[in-house]
Amino acid sequence: MGGLALIARELGYQVSGSDANVYPPMSTQLEQQGIQLMHGYKAENLNPKPDLVIIGNALSRGNVEVEAVLNSGLHYISGAQWLAEHVLQDKWVLAVSGTHGKTTTTSMLSWILEYQGFKPGFLVGGIPLNFGISARLGESDFFVIEADEYDCAFFDKRSKFVHYRPRTLVMNNLEYDHADIFPDLEAIKRQFHHLVRTVPSEGLIIAPQHENNLDDVLKMGCWTPVVRTVINESGTWAAQLTQPDGSVFEVLHHGQSQGQVVWSLTGEHNVYNALSAIAAAHHVGVLPNAAIETLSKFQNVKRRMEVIAKINGVTLYDDFAHHPTAIKTTLDGLRKQVQQQQIVAIVEPRSNTMRMGIHTESLALSLTTADVAIIYQPAELNWDLSALKAYNPAIEIYASLDEIIARLTGLAQANSHFVLMSNGSFGGIYQKLQQALTR
């Protein structure tokens, strides 16, 4: 929604918005762009009367401001539909979908096209450090978008990505998520199939070679060429790891070496993200060696294993983890990089799916790579995290941030890595922990 606000402003509209809890980096970005933020939902936020209200999928009937929109007869629309009608028409849309890696891959692809002179528009669910903003209109016929399977709004329960009509589609992976709106994995597969139905026969779909759930989607019907990505095997687009942590790898296209990526990112998940971005860029005319060179200058995305401080030998990372697989792959990449040094994972189970206790076993097992695994159980969490201990007895559970900070202060030592994992503000623990470690 913040990205849509930026694009609408760029199109010349006067833009304001309401939210219950806007926090950095998005709040800072919006304020810097001169977009008025109104904290909380109130009927008076709609004065003076707007010409159009874009309603996000976090709001439902009964919300004070939603009710005021309906009662006043104001023109309203979902963000995905507005984007399709006002921005994506006549664009070559490159869409990145999947349970994990959407934001990072979208950022990589946008950066490759930017560095190679394409001047693309983009909409990313985070802030790519190479750009410093999450969205822009662009100056060309190309638009790169993070294609989310979440629903559009209370009045449009289709997945957002069915509005985007991509010509180039990346499907990173597919797992069960968004348990608040999808009853099971099969329901998500069906939505991905609807997305596949929108890709032209002269377009391109890019997917990993070993993703059974995506294979199931494609078997439902596919009318578009599909190319595959793979690591340490033969495939259309393959990576051979030079360093086990994924920080250096060779890229091969149809078995022919295209060059070597050397960058600061780690983890096989990011290698897959890179292969997808290179393949998608190739579809619009970027040579693989040029894309590879560009990725060496890629700075990742804010809150994706972002180093926020180094204090007395302790490195603090901010990671926007929302799913056990993302936690597992992130920690695995860090372990391969730092070897035997201490890793402490601190998790706030904040996504709707994790808050519902859907991933109990997989969440517990995702943390086994860490030397110490700490999970925050706030009072409003509606399930008992102690169930995690049945699968990973080493997990430590704390009901207050002060207790977590005290524990982390005791664990602090040279060559330690504290990974703070949350898709929210985590109660401001980032600043509080830095203050505690500097005392």
Cβ atoms of residues 21 and 37 within 8 Å = no
Spans of all domains in the chain: 2-74, 81-295, 306-438
CA distances in angstroms from 349 to 356, 360, 362, 389, listed in the order given:
9, 11, 13, 15
* pLDDT of 139: 97
**Can you read off the two tokens belonging to residue 359?**
């991933």
Interval 409-431: pLDDT, tens: 999 999 999 999 987 778 889 99
* pLDDT of 27: 82
Location of structure tokens 């504290």? 418
Q: Percent of the chain at pLDDT above 90?
A: 74
Interval 215-266: pLDDT, tens: 999 999 999 999 999 999 999 999 999 999 999 999 999 999 999 999 989 8
Q: Please state, in angstroms and rounded to a whole number, the distance separating the CA atoms of residues 59 and 129.
A: 29
pLDDT above 80 for 75? yes
Mean pLDDT across the stretch 70-99? Answer: 97
Query: Strand 156-159 vs strand 36-39: parallel, antiparallel, or unpaired?
Result: unpaired
* pLDDT of 188: 94
Burial 369-395, CB ≥16 within 10 A → b, else e: bbebbbbbbeeebeeebeebeebbeeb
pLDDT above 90 for 214? yes
CA torsion sign for 110, 112, 114, 118 is: negative
Q: Tell me which fold the domain 2-74 belongs to.
A: Rossmann fold (3.40.50)
pLDDT bin (cut points 50, 70, 90) of residue 175 is confident
CA distances in angstroms from 264 to 247, 298, 304, 346, listed in the order given:
6, 8, 12, 22
pLDDT bin (cut points 50, 70, 90) of residue 352 is low
Q: What's CA 327's distance to the chain center, in Å?
A: 13
**Can you read off the two tokens belonging to residue 202?**
């002269």
Interval 370-399: pLDDT, tens: 999 999 988 777 677 888 888 998 899 999
**Can you read off the two tokens belonging to residue 268?**
């096989």
pLDDT above 60 for 355? no
Greatest Cα pair distance, the chain, in angstroms, is 62
Instruction: Enter the DSSP assignment of 41.
Output: -
Q: Please state, in angstroms and rounded to a whole number, the distance separating the CA atoms of residues 34 and 22.
A: 15
Instruction: Enter the DSSP assignment of 190.
Output: H
Q: Tell me which fold the domain 306-438 belongs to.
A: Protein-Tyrosine Phosphatase; Chain A (3.90.190)
Q: Does domain 81-295 have CATH number 3.30.460.20?
A: no
Phi-psi region of 297 (alpha: psi -120 to 50; beta: other; left: phi over 0): alpha
Q: What's CA 347's distance to the chain center, in Å?
A: 17
Cβ atoms of residues 94 and 145 within 8 Å = yes
* pLDDT of 25: 73
- Outline where DSSP puts E strands in 209-269: 226-231, 237-241, 248-253, 256-262
CA dihedral 46, 49, 54, 55 (to 10 degrees): 40
pLDDT bin (cut points 50, 70, 90) of residue 356 is low
Give the residue from 81, 104, 9 showing the smallest Cα distance to 319. Answer: 104
**Can you read off the two tokens belonging to residue 32?**
């810097």
Q: How many helices (H) and strands (E) does the chain have?
A: 14, 22
Q: Please state, in angstroms and rounded to a whole number, the distance separating the CA atoms of residues 251 and 274.
A: 9
Task: Tell me the average pLDDT of the chain.
Answer: 92
Give the residue from 56, 59, 52, 55 showing the smallest Cα distance to 75. Answer: 52
pLDDT bin (cut points 50, 70, 90) of residue 165 is very high
* pLDDT of 244: 92
Q: Please state, in angstroms and rounded to a whole number, the distance separating the CA atoms of residues 394 and 208.
A: 33
* Helix residue spans in 296-399 (DSSP H): 324-338, 352-355, 360-366
Query: Strand 121-123 vs strand 76-78: parallel, antiparallel, or unpaired?
Result: unpaired
pLDDT above 60 for 114? yes
pLDDT above 70 for 276? yes
Instruction: Enter the DSSP assignment of 390.
Output: G
Cis peptide before 225 (omega within 30 of 0): no
Q: Please state, in angstroms and rounded to a whole number, the distance separating the CA atoms of residues 57 and 269.
A: 28
Interval 117-160: pLDDT, tens: 999 999 998 889 999 889 999 999 999 999 999 999 999 999 99
> What's the pTM value of the predicted model, to 2 decimals?
0.83
Mean pLDDT across the stretch 262-276? Answer: 93
* pLDDT of 357: 56
* pLDDT of 111: 98
Q: What's CA 107's distance to the chain center, in Å?
A: 10
Q: Please state, in angstroms and rounded to a whole number, the distance separating the CA atoms of residues 293 and 262.
A: 9
Helix (H, G, I), strand (E, B) or coil at 192: helix
pLDDT bin (cut points 50, 70, 90) of residue 331 is very high
